Amino acid sequence: MRTNFVCRIAAPIFASLALGFAPGAALLAAGQNPDSNADHAHSAPAKLVQMVRDATREFIDVNNAGPAGYGPFLGCVSGSDHGAMGVHYVNPTLVGAGEIDAAHPQALIYEPSDGKMRLVGVEFIVDSATWLKTHSGPPVLEGQSFLLVGIPNRYNIPAPFFELHVWAWRDNPQGAFVDWNNRVTCEGQQ
């Protein structure tokens, strides 16, 4: 039931946004040129990477994230042994919808750098119980299978969920759909 999902997943996200992570509270100027941010110019991007780039170009400027319903969640996430994810700007309405659409990622991922936020990728997120009520397996988007994040998890999200990262704006040497990116850092967080 969608209400149950909102209580388990979206409610903590809404609460975090309301408790000081309001979409406009920490927005920084992006100062980013979409053409100069293409770290993966050395090879043609996968179809999903290009779809995400086309769909999120407007969010290169982090100031466009808030009016579209996205707000910072959890601060900058770094790996325990390598790489980072960055700062996730989550759209609780999209998370609560329980649907997957390449043009509407549930989270935008930014890297803090020199007092600005630089768009590096996105994350697609769906509650596993909601998804599995109408599907026989994990989501697959343009041939990329989602990973299951169980409970407990490092994010303190109280229900299992499926997720897929897409590093559309920052090349990842481990692959465009791997969770952690060694070329992303939280060192620039202020």
Is 120 in contact with 111 (CB distance < 8 Å)? Answer: yes
pLDDT of residue 45: 64
Cite the beta strand spans of the chain per DSSP E: 71-78, 84-90, 107-113, 116-127, 140-141, 144-145, 147-149, 161-166
What's the pLDDT tens digit per position in 72-116?
A: 998 899 987 788 999 999 999 999 999 999 999 999 999 999 899
User: What residue has token string 């039931």?
Assistant: 1
Angle at 149 (CA atoms; ends 84, 15), nearest 5 degrees: 80
Q: How crowded is the C-beta side of 109, counted as CA atoms within 13 Å? A: 27
H/E element, 51: helix 47-56
Which strands form 84-90's sheet, in the order they lie side by side? 71-78, 84-90, 107-113, 116-127, 161-166, 147-149
pTM of this structure: 0.79
CB 186 within 8 A of CB 76: yes
User: Which is nearest to 162 in space by CA: 4, 5, 3, 1?
Assistant: 5
Tell me the HSE value of 65 on the side-chain side, using a 13 A CA sphere.
35
Dump pLDDT digits (tens) for 15-26. Answer: 443 333 333 322
Residue 60: pLDDT band (50, 70, 90) is very high
**pLDDT beyond 60 at 39:** no
Read off the pLDDT of residues 106-120 as tens digits, 9 standing for 90 and up: 999 999 998 999 999
Q: What is the pLDDT of residue 183?
A: 94
Q: What distance lies between CA 50 and its chain's CA centroid?
A: 16
The two structure tokens encoding residue 119: 């768009």
Residues paired with residue 147 on neighbouring β-strands, in sequence order: 163
